[in-house]
A and B are shown apart, each in its own frame.
Chain A
């Protein structure tokens, strides 16, 4: 079925296809996202970027060796 390839992966039905572990990756690799899933992904990305940023900052704080003053 030719049209199957043009379907938004986020909208695919079928009991076993999508789960919490693969959903994000599958949606991301889909070229034909519907508007709703596109908007969701973009908003999630902004949120995730912020979370990662705080991770990096937290790591920098714990990993930077403290300079001892003589």
Chain B
């Protein structure tokens, strides 16, 4: 499913997501060379650092919520999942978006897993 795609995982992401990525053919690298940046917590120091990077402010980096992977797992034989629904913005941006258009798709997943 993720053959030859390179990803970086924040320490906030549970190990099983990394395992799943690799078992589906994905590769894990550092954040500078990864095509996919996954986190589960925007306020985790390793993720927060990315939001303060020049790459992020110059629109060359988007962090996705790791629950994208569980959504892919569930939808394996159905419609493809859009990674664009799993954008994980900085906490202050999250607040603004939630106030304007409501909860994020990954919030439901978060509650289910806890």
**A interface residues, Cβ below 8 angstroms from B:** 9-15, 18-21, 23-25, 27-28, 35-37, 39-40, 43-44, 46-49, 51-52, 55
Q: Decide if B61 touches A43 in the complex (CB within 8 Å).
A: no
A48–B62 Cα distance when bound, in Å, is 12
Given contact pairs A10-B84, A14-B80, A47-B90, A20 touches B101 in the complex (Cβ within 8 A): no
Q: Is the interface of A mostly helix, strand, loop or mixed?
A: helix
A52–B105 Cα distance when bound, in Å, is 29
A47–B37 Cα distance when bound, in Å, is 19
Q: Decide if A43 touches B97 in the complex (CB within 8 Å).
A: yes
Given contact pairs A43-B89, A43-B96, A44-B93, A37 touches B84 in the complex (Cβ within 8 A): yes
Q: Decide if A18 touches B51 in the complex (CB within 8 Å).
A: no
Number of chain B interface residues as a range = 20 to 34
What would be 24 A-B contacts, judged by CB atoms less than 8 Å apart? A10-B85, A12-B84, A13-B81, A15-B2, A18-B84, A19-B36, A20-B37, A20-B61, A21-B60, A23-B87, A28-B59, A36-B97, A36-B101, A39-B96, A39-B100, A39-B101, A40-B89, A44-B89, A46-B93, A47-B89, A48-B56, A49-B57, A51-B51, A51-B52
Q: Decide if B35 touches A21 in the complex (CB within 8 Å).
A: yes
Q: Decide if B92 touches A23 in the complex (CB within 8 Å).
A: no
A36–B89 Cα distance when bound, in Å, is 13
Q: Decide if B101 touches A27 in the complex (CB within 8 Å).
A: no
B37, B87, B89: residue with the most chain A Cβ atoms closer than 10 Å:
B87
Residues of A contacting B22 in the complex (Cβ-Cβ under 8 angstroms):
none
Residue B34 lies at the interface, judged by CB distance under 8 Å to chain A? yes
Of the residues B34, B83, B90, B96, contact of A23 by C-beta under 8 Å: B83
A52–B52 Cα distance when bound, in Å, is 9
